[in-house]
Amino acid sequence: MTEQTSTDKQPAERIEGRIAVIGVDTPVARLVPSRQRRTIGAWCFLDHLGPADFAPGEGMNVGPHPHIGLQTFTWMIEGEVRHLDSLGNDIVITPGQVNLMTAGHGISHAEVTPPVTSPRVHASQLWIALPDSHRHMHPQFKNYKDLPVYTQDGFTVTLLVGARDGQTSPVEVYTPLLGLDLYSKEGGATKLSLNPAFEHGIVALQGTVAIDGEVLPHGTLHYQPTGSTGVDIQTSADARVLVVGGEPFPEDIIVWWNFVARTHDEIAVARADWVAEAPRFGRVDHPHAGTRLSIPPLEGHLKGAH
């Protein structure tokens, strides 16, 4: 981690992500959580997948697995991924769309590459911690095809979550959040205003991206704390930037495997329910869903975040 000073003199952090594997053998850059930063607002998990080219017959293979206490958020940039869940949803997400699955008290789902698809996949997959008022709600799923898109200084901006510049995203979340995708075809520069009540994370998804004059390496998160009113973004041609933000999450959470909870006992009960195939998580009954994931033992550290 290195310290920086942004254009409005607020301290910032550069946090290196790590390589993780999802499903059978799909590598991703995991940027949140990290040792330095467990959450950004209610965003408690951020993976960057690709851009990657899969060989024929290969692709994502994440079999049925459970979630509690969170929303899973998938932003599809290139390629297609098939979502199958215990509510009976079977949807192929395509570029420019968001999948939002609200786990609530419990749901299970699978993510696999469709049989006929582009070999190239590029996506961001995130989790949003549900506040105590909503974390026991009934599970839900929605695919969002139409998101606000506008231009700023030559950048094409897609508003993924929240409200900004007179636009409001239809994606339903339960805490104050922001999500933006900025794409520059020709390369350019812009001053991105920030809500000083929010903390923010910025990730270079493709191309060369500089924040306040310093290049942001791929696989690195630029963290901007509350109090900041803006950052300068400069990019090469064909560059893409992801910005997430939110009010600091006021509740202490525990993230373990695919669960977000408040106590170790809640984690232990959820784990036992998955092992027992309890009705809580339902079933993903589909021939293409893949193999049901085994859950790891509880030995080891349960990771807290706040």
- Residue 244 contacts residue 45 (beta carbons within 8 Å): no
**For residue 93, what are the contacts with CB-CB under 8 A and spacing of at least 6?**
74, 76, 80, 81, 82, 83, 99, 143
pLDDT at res. 128: 98
Report if residue 281 sits inside a domain: no
Answer yes or no: is 235 within a domain. yes
Phi and psi for 270 in degrees, rounded to 5? -60, -40
The pLDDT mean for the chain works out to: 92
Structure confidence at residue 299 (pLDDT):
73
Is residue 33 pLDDT above 90, yes or no? yes
Tell me the torsion sign for CA atoms 249, 250, 256, 262.
negative
Domain that holds residue 103: 2-246
The single-letter DSSP state of residue 131 is P
Instruction: Say if CB 246 and CB 178 are below 8 A apart.
Output: yes
Is there a domain that residue 292 lies in?
A: no
pLDDT value for 304: 52
Q: Which range (145-149, 175-179, 182-186, 284-288) has the least confidence?
A: 284-288
Q: Which is nearest to 103 in space by CA: 140, 75, 76, 74?
A: 140
Q: Which residues of 211-238 are buried (b: 16+ CB within 10 A; e: fewer)?
A: bbeeebeeebbbbbbbebebbebbbeee
Q: Is residue 242 included in any domain, yes or no?
A: yes
* Least confident interval from 7-11, 76-80, 278-282: 7-11
Residue 278 lies in a domain: no
- Give the three-class secondary structure for 279: helix
> Quick check: 228 and 201 in contact, CB under 8 A?
no
pLDDT at 6: 39
**104 is a domain residue:** yes
> Domain holding 62: CATH number?
2.60.120.10
Looking at residue 289, its amino acid is A
Kind of pairing, strands 120-129 and 43-53?
Answer: antiparallel
Residue 279 located in a structural domain: no
With H, G, I as helix, E, B as strand and everything else as coil, classify residue 269. helix
Give pLDDT tens digits for 155-213: 999 999 999 999 999 999 999 999 999 999 999 999 999 999 999 999 999 999 999 99
Our count of domains for the chain comes to: 1
91 lies in some domain: yes
| pLDDT at residue 22 tops 90 | no
Q: Are residues 56 and 249 in contact, defined by beta-carbon separation less than 8 angstroms?
A: no
The DSSP element (H or E) to which 275 belongs, if any, is helix 264-275
